[in-house]
Amino acid sequence: MSLNKIDHVGIAVTDLEKSIELYKSMGFEFQGTEVVEDQKVRTAFFKIGESKIELLAATDPESPIAKFIEKNGNRGGIAHLAIHVSDVQSKLSELKQKGFQLIDEVAKDGAHGTKIAFVHPKSTGGVLLELCEKKEH
């Protein structure tokens, strides 16, 4: 099961509107916002070459992003690295078999109709890894 490319880098932010303006002013190409109910976040995407930057703001105190920001001294920062895969579920099975600790045993709904799943940083050397599969259009 191949890992195709870096789909996006997820960055936690405390104020989405302010951060959108900040990234726009740096010259990043804004693509719009979307709420992902499953993750309790509001996201903003910026295109950069074949990849994207995903800004993430919590919509609920129980959001993983709210917890990340709390652990990070109440500041934003790089939250996850997302890798594009052609089949999330089979990559999850493969990693599980190899002894990786999965946060999601079953793929969930991500932004833009993607299927996503997270692998625990404890088993990846400290990086929260997101596997990301695009639905066929």
10 versus 76: smaller Cβ distance to Zn ion: 10
How far is the C-alpha of 92 from the C-alpha of 23, rounded, in Å? 33
Which residues are at the interface with Zn ion (CB under 5 A)?
A: 10, 54, 82, 130
- Smallest distance, Å, CB 7 to Zn ion? 8
- Smallest distance, Å, CB 130 to Zn ion? 5
Q: Which of 46, 6, 1, 40 is nearest to 132 (CA)?
A: 6
Distance from chain centroid for Cα 85: 14
- Smallest distance, Å, CB 82 to Zn ion? 4
How far is the C-alpha of 86 from the C-alpha of 68, rounded, in Å? 28
Q: Which residue is nearest to Zn ion (CB)?
A: 10
